[in-house]
Amino acid sequence: MESRPLTRHDSMNNPLVRPPNYQAVEQPSHSAASVNGLRQKSNLDDDDIHHNPPPGSSSGSGGAMDPPQGHQMTVTYDGDSEGYVSFAGGSGSNNTFHLDSDEQEFPGIGQYDDFHTIDWQRDVARDRMRHRHIIKKRDDSAWDWIKSGHDAWSGWLCVFLVGVIAGAFAGMIDIGTSWMSDLRFGICPEAFWFNQEQCCWSSNETFYDGDNCSNWYSWPEVFGHEPNGAGAYIISYIFYILWSLLFASLAASLVMMFAPYACGSGIPEIKTILSGFIIRGYLGKWTLLIKSLGMILAVSAGLSLGKEGPLVHVACCIGNIFSYAFPKYGKNEAKKREILSAAAAVGVSVAFGAPIGGVLFSLEEASYYFPLKTLWRSFFAALVAAFVLRSINPFGNEHSVLFYVEYNKPWIFIELVPFIILGVIGGIIGMLFIKFNIKWCRFRKTSLMGQYPRLEVLIVTLITAFIAYPNPYTRMNTSNLIYLLFSQCGVANNDNLCTPGSSLRSNRVSLVDVFPAGPKPASLPSSDYQRNFTNVNTAIEIAAAGPGVLQAVWLLALALIFKCVVTVFTFGIKVPCGLFIPSLAMGSIIGRLVGIGMEQLAYNYPEWAVFAGECSTGENCITPGLYAMVGAAAVLGGVTRMTVSLVVIMFELTGGVRYIVPLMAAVMASKWIGDAFGREGIYDAHIILNGYPFLDSKEEFSHTTLANDVMKPGKNESFYVITQDSMTLDDVEQLLRETDHNGFPVVVSRQSQYLVGFVARRDLNIAISQAKKTTEGIVGESIVLFTSSVPSPWMGPPPLRLRKILDLAPITITDHTPMETVVDMFRKLGLRQTLVTHNGRLLGIITKKDVLRHIKFLESEDPESVLFN
């Protein structure tokens, strides 16, 4: 059979010119069925349960007051949609539409509805087109040259601003928290806005030394009571509980009234957003404001939660808000995520004063795509933020965190054994914590309790405050507790934990009195050692523990149990609450206990071979504070499953490189133990609990299914496609009304199913309504044309030409492609959907939701738990 010598361009630009026997080509059954199957309901459900029916509307279903909202309808940047249009139709050489014109632009094209997945490839292509446009115009005028310069550095400027503002926010939050926390214990009558430390500074007492400050009035004193005694204790207790309840209810009310998205840690949602999902208002200005305020209140209420996780959310809000100052980022969801990745790094940087750790946190835990450019910018922003925070100096110690410590003893090799044991314990605690917390959260979701969130907050606060007050370790601020436990005993350290106590019990200074922990209780244990420092040059001798240490050990053990239990119920209540600090606190208690045990072991058995080298000299060879730090890292690692970033954060908290090995050993042990029982960290577990469409890039897809098995339509389902030149406007509008798919493949004809391109539902809606307004003669019988040219003798009403909004380069795969490759492509290319072909004919479509459901199905979980797309 002689084949007609057709050039490549012939067939490409003129799909209307077909050989006469074109339609007779073999085709799959369902495409034949779909000829008349337009009105059948298919379950090609790349839909969205939160779908907002009026196309072009952008009101989010949650979080009412977000900046993106108003923005979406006011696209003013003229290179924006043009960019995408040129990309889509840029190759049709004989296009009758001119693509460089400002006419025929459809504002809003390329945007997304709320709770939808973004298409990275498309967004990145749009940005490149925009960039090319600017570069091309650069030499036209001085103004264009400046614009191009501004465009080039706007990414750096944006992350710089984010760093500065996030640093300032963190400083204010730190100061506010410290003031409000002290308010529960007393007040500075001279200047009520001072916290206890500042109050005592101003009273000319150079060294801040616990309760010995006449300017600060505890509540019993305010009411004319003696500062000591049973009555004062009760008054203090009551004030402590009342203030806590006040703060907590304020926090919960603010969150519920103004910004429901401000509750919780925010990291699961930020992970989901960074993986390419739209949650409007989640990073808005109201969320920012309420989260910052609520965080101060919740921490001051003495709840078992921290402000470090929520700081990541706050930084991301700042990143989101600033990105709107730069259209390059504000109007392009894929580009905006570059700023958000940097903002996540900034959040951890200011939370722990650890810029490198922050960058690694963003890389390891938060971000989905982390190109090198983002790495550089994240690092820059994290540094700027840390610098700003240190300049604000909220703790008066030249560091950005309260619990910055320096050790001066190296560790010895045998200590690796307790470190690894700490890691194992941390892994087990983390695993149990995740399990119970998820169970409780699921119970909250399904039971009546979820309907009274404010009551829940009040009950948790009441119980926490009631139990916490009697135990000095739980009464104090959790950050202070962590710092106390991290500290080493040494000459320069004037913690009471390490100062020499005389043998007289009454003379002992309480361990907790160095911190603003309210009026001195009548009888407090002390964890002092029988140790004497004679002068500066004496080495610290190892010492036997006195009875005070034993009592402290007991109290710490009780505090540990309390923290473990109460945190399970706290994480998830409707106030801003982070997990870092409670986890670190649990871990540091365990670590300190193990450390004290090791110390006493080394003291009592210095002749053991393992201690022989270092401990025989009588010097203290064990640093219990280091154990506390290792334990803290282990538990936090068990809860979050972070590794490298966690080690680096802890390493940045200490002065030296030499403690990396102990930290690494514990964190790795913790991760391995935790992973053995359940792969997900707490954030991933909450993502699954909430049904977010998050395609984890850490999990390997290990099944043997093919694209064929996953794609929609399945057997006996009809497949909705649009033909390039034979459907009328009425047909298309009916299709849009009767299906809720997010997009439709465009084919040459319904019989042949040769794929031409892909058109998004949203773009189609906008284009149609726009065309009805602007183009004359468009009626229901108008043919919708996706071809590049109109056949020359055109009969009937004027056609509606939509090649502009057609994506001519959809990603396609063959039906034999293994799903592991498909999952890989979804992850690496950031796809929203891919089309499945066999020998060139369109067979079906796979959306991100299909992939997620398929993974759930293979893991014998409920595929319907994936909620959004």
Question: Which of the residues 317 through 356 are near its own copies (CB under 8 A)?
Answer: 353, 355-356
Record the tokens describing residue 644, joined without a space: 């490298």
Q: Which of 392, 435, 820, 856 binds its own copies (CB under 8 A)?
A: 820
Nearer to its own copies, 69 or 752 (CB): 752
Nearer to its own copies, 517 or 756 (CB): 756
Record the tokens describing residue 538, joined without a space: 């004496």
Binding string to its own copies for residues 647 to 666, with x set by CB under 8 A, is what? Answer: xx--xx--xxx--xx--x--
Q: Rounded to whole angstroms, how far apart are CA atoms 693 and 486?
A: 39
* Residues pairing with 845 in the sheet: 712, 835
Q: How far is the CB of 703 from its own copies (least distance, A)?
A: 8
Q: Quick check: 824 binds its own copies (CB under 8 A)?
A: yes
Piece of the chain touching its own copies by CB under 8 A; list 220-228, 249-257, 369-377, 448-456: 369-377
Residues 49-108 interacting with its own copies (rule: CB under 8 A): 87, 90-91
Q: Quick check: 492 binds its own copies (CB under 8 A)?
A: no
Give phi and psi for 817, each to the nearest 5: -65, 130
Strand order across the beta sheet in which 727-728 lies? 727-728, 783-785, 800-801
Q: Quick check: 376 binds its own copies (CB under 8 A)?
A: yes
Which residues does 181 contact at the CB level (< 8 Å), separation at least 6? 195, 299, 300, 302, 477, 516
Residues 757-786 interacting with its own copies (rule: CB under 8 A): 757
Q: Quick check: 19 binds its own copies (CB under 8 A)?
A: yes
Q: Name the DSSP letter for residue 180.
A: H
Q: Using CB under 8 A, count the residues that bind its own copies.
A: 103
Q: Quick check: 126 binds its own copies (CB under 8 A)?
A: no
Q: Quick check: 159 binds its own copies (CB under 8 A)?
A: no
Are 58 and 69 within 8 A, CB to CB?
yes
Q: Quick check: 613 binds its own copies (CB under 8 A)?
A: no
Q: How far is the CB of 801 from its own copies (least distance, A)?
A: 17
Q: How far is the CB of 487 from its own copies (least distance, A)?
A: 19
List the end-to-end C-alpha distance of the chain, in Å, as a whole number: 49
Give phi and psi for 754, each to the nearest 5: -80, 125
Piece of the chain touching its own copies by CB under 8 A; list 103-111, 538-546, 553-561, 838-846: 838-846
Burial profile 795-816: b = 16 or more Cβ within 10 angstroms, e = fewer? eeeebbbbbbbbbbebbbbebe
Q: Count of CB atoms within 10 A of residue 625's CB?
A: 29
Q: Which of 69, 72, 117, 121 binds its own copies (CB under 8 A)?
A: 121
Nearer to its own copies, 7 or 451 (CB): 7
Q: Which amino acid is at 547?
A: P
Q: How far is the CB of 302 from its own copies (least distance, A)?
A: 31
Q: Quick check: 12 binds its own copies (CB under 8 A)?
A: yes
Give phi and psi for 270, each to the nearest 5: -65, -40
Nearer to its own copies, 359 or 476 (CB): 359
Q: Rounded to whole angstroms, how far apart are CA atoms 223 and 217?
A: 9
Residues 266-285 interacting with its own copies (rule: CB under 8 A): none
Q: Quick check: 23 binds its own copies (CB under 8 A)?
A: yes
Binding string to its own copies for residues 669 to 708, with x set by CB under 8 A, is what? Answer: ----------------------------xx-xxx-x-xxx
User: Is the peptide bond prior to 713 cis by the omega test (within 30 degrees of 0)?
Assistant: yes
* Residues pairing with 755 in the sheet: 747
Q: How far is CA 591 from CA 407, 579, 627, 662, 812, in A?
A: 15, 18, 5, 12, 54
Record the tokens describing residue 418, joined without a space: 């307790």
Which residue, among 549, 541, 643, 595, has the nearest Cα to 415 in the 3D structure? 595
Nearer to its own copies, 73 or 676 (CB): 676
Q: Quick check: 28 binds its own copies (CB under 8 A)?
A: yes
Q: How far is the CB of 403 from its own copies (least distance, A)?
A: 15
Q: Quick check: 803 binds its own copies (CB under 8 A)?
A: no
Record the tokens describing residue 395, joined without a space: 């703790």
Q: How far is the CB of 678 from its own copies (least distance, A)?
A: 17
Which residue, among 36, 131, 42, 119, has the nearest Cα to 82 in the 3D structure? 131
Q: How far is the CB of 685 from its own copies (least distance, A)?
A: 18
Give phi and psi for 217, each to the nearest 5: -110, 120
Q: How far is CA 61 from CA 21, 273, 743, 840, in A?
A: 51, 16, 21, 40
DSSP 454-515: HHHHHHHHHHHHHHHTTSHHHHS-HHHHHHHHHPPPSSS---TTTSPPPS-GGGPPPGGGGS
Q: Quick check: 364 binds its own copies (CB under 8 A)?
A: yes
Q: Which of 168, 462, 565, 668 binds its own copies (CB under 8 A)?
A: 668
Binding string to its own copies for residues 719 to 758, with x set by CB under 8 A, is what? Answer: -----------------------------x--x--xxxx-
Q: How far is the CB of 524 from its own copies (least distance, A)?
A: 36
Piece of the chain touching its own copies by CB under 8 A; list 159-167, 496-504, 620-628, 825-833: 825-833
Q: Which amino acid is at 71?
A: H
Nearer to its own copies, 388 or 460 (CB): 388
Q: How far is the CB of 835 from its own copies (least distance, A)?
A: 10
Q: Quick check: 131 binds its own copies (CB under 8 A)?
A: yes
